[in-house]
């Protein structure tokens, strides 16, 4: 037989965010970013080549997918086929452990797992840099889910140089506060396009992200948790500010999200080092020192479901029988 592989990957939460592309065709970001790959909410994906099939098939949590979701997988596999010289279609079966719509059922773990499994099944290189470049083509943030723990995704100046790699950093945990499980109103992809096209603040956002990333890399190198936290929170608020300044405006944070940011600020006033961030949705992730994670989680339980997560593994092949 041959031509089959299974891989697992975890989502990541950015401390310096990716919001905007320099090149959408090749998926180059406007600036670099830095994130923590988590140890929860894995996506496991099996890719099986089927030389006699006329089209790809994609099952998510046991349900056959059609429309945009299937098209996105097919477009990604077209790139893999072009590079491998194979014309075989594939059956892709994905299982996502995140509650659907919780904002954590991310495209990052999905495309990191798909890139890893598809590369093995079609016989493409399986080193982290190659997988990160490839995963990026499916979803930008997936470039970082290839890498364990803290990683930096270099903006790069073309396809070859735009990939993620590990960054040594101090131990930390994240308290994830799920304030709303509904699907977001507008996708990251669409909203970042709108922001770049219409926000008068967009150029300043890109420039400030470059500065935040420099400062964050320095803070990681120094093992300076306080500085990491401060940059994380102010950078997240800047991202939501630039998103709100689009035309028409987009607002992802809900009143409860803001209440969590306020509660985190009140914790700091009491000497607990906690710093909040949020992606393109209302759920809030709070960066804490490991020793304080459970206490902070207890403080935030009133705002929604809470879960303490830590640094997780990079994308991994679970089994493979290449073509």
Residues forming contacts to ligand DP6 in the complex (CB under 6 A) are 14, 17-19, 33, 107, 139-141, 188-189, 279-280
Q: Which residue has the tokens 């830095």?
A: 34
CB of 118 to ligand DP6, least distance (A): 17
Q: For residues 196 and 219, which CB has a smaller minimum distance to ligand DP6 in the complex?
A: 196
Q: For residues 42 and 320, which CB has a smaller minimum distance to ligand DP6 in the complex?
A: 42
Q: For residues 48 and 139, which CB has a smaller minimum distance to ligand DP6 in the complex?
A: 139
Q: Which residue has the tokens 């304080």?
A: 292
Candidates 150, 56, 122, 97; CA nearest to 321 is 122
CB of 34 to ligand DP6, least distance (A): 9
Q: For residues 111 and 225, which CB has a smaller minimum distance to ligand DP6 in the complex?
A: 111
CB of 228 to ligand DP6, least distance (A): 16
The two structure tokens encoding residue 208 = 């400030």
Alpha-carbon distance of 171 to 223, in angstroms, equals 9
Candidates 281, 279, 191; CA nearest to 232 is 279
CB of 77 to ligand DP6, least distance (A): 16
Q: Are 225 and 273 in contact (CB under 8 A)?
A: yes
CB of 273 to ligand DP6, least distance (A): 23
Assign residue 85 a region (left: φ > 0; alpha: ψ between -120 and 50; beta: otherwise): left
Q: For residues 116 and 188, which CB has a smaller minimum distance to ligand DP6 in the complex?
A: 188
CB of 282 to ligand DP6, least distance (A): 12
Cis peptide before 248 (omega within 30 of 0): yes
Sheet holding 274-277, edge to edge: 274-277, 284-288, 173-178, 305-309
Q: For residues 279 and 299, which CB has a smaller minimum distance to ligand DP6 in the complex?
A: 279
Q: Are strands 305-309 and 57-60 parallel, antiparallel or unpaired?
A: unpaired
- Residue in the shown chain whose Cβ atom is closest to ligand DP6: 140
């Amino acid at each position: 037989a041959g031509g089959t592989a299974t891989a697992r990957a975890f989502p990541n939460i950015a401390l310096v965010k990716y919001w905007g592309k320099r090149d959408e065709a090749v998926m180059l970001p406007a600036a670099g970013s830095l994130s923590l790959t988590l140890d929860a909410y894995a996506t496991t994906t099996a890719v099986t080549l089927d030389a006699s099939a006329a089209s790809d098939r994609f099952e998510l949590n046991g349900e056959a997918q059609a429309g945009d979701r299937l098209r996105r997988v097919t477009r990604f596999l077209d790139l893999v086929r072009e590079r491998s010289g194979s014309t075989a279609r594939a059956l892709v079966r994905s299982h996502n452990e995140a509650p659907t719509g919780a904002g954590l059922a991310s495209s990052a773990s999905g495309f990191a797992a798909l890139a890893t499994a598809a590369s093995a099944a079609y016989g493409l290189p399986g080193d982290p840099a190659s997988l990160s470049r490839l995963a990026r083509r499916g979803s930008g943030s997936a470039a970082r889910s290839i890498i364990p723990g803290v990683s930096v995704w270099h903006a790069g100046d073309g396809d070859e140089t735009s990939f993620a790699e590990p960054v040594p950093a101090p131990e930390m945990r994240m308290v994830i506060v799920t304030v709303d499980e509904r699907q977001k109103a507008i996708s990251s992809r669409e909203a970042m396009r709108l922001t770049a096209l219409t926000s008068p603040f967009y150029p300043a956002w890109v420039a400030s992200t470059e500065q935040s990333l420099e400062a964050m890399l320095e803070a990681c190198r120094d093992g300076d948790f306080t500085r990491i936290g401060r940059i994380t929170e102010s950078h997240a608020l800047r991202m939501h500010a630039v998103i709100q300044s689009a035309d028409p405006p987009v607002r992802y944070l809900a009143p409860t999200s803001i209440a969590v940011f306020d509660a985190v600020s009140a914790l700091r006033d009491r000497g607990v080092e906690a710093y909040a961030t949020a992606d393109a949705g209302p759920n809030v992730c709070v960066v804490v020192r490991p020793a304080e994670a459970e206490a902070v989680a207890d403080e935030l339980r009133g705002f929604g479901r809470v879960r303490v997560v830590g640094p997780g593994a990079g994308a991994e092949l679970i089994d493979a029988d290449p073509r």
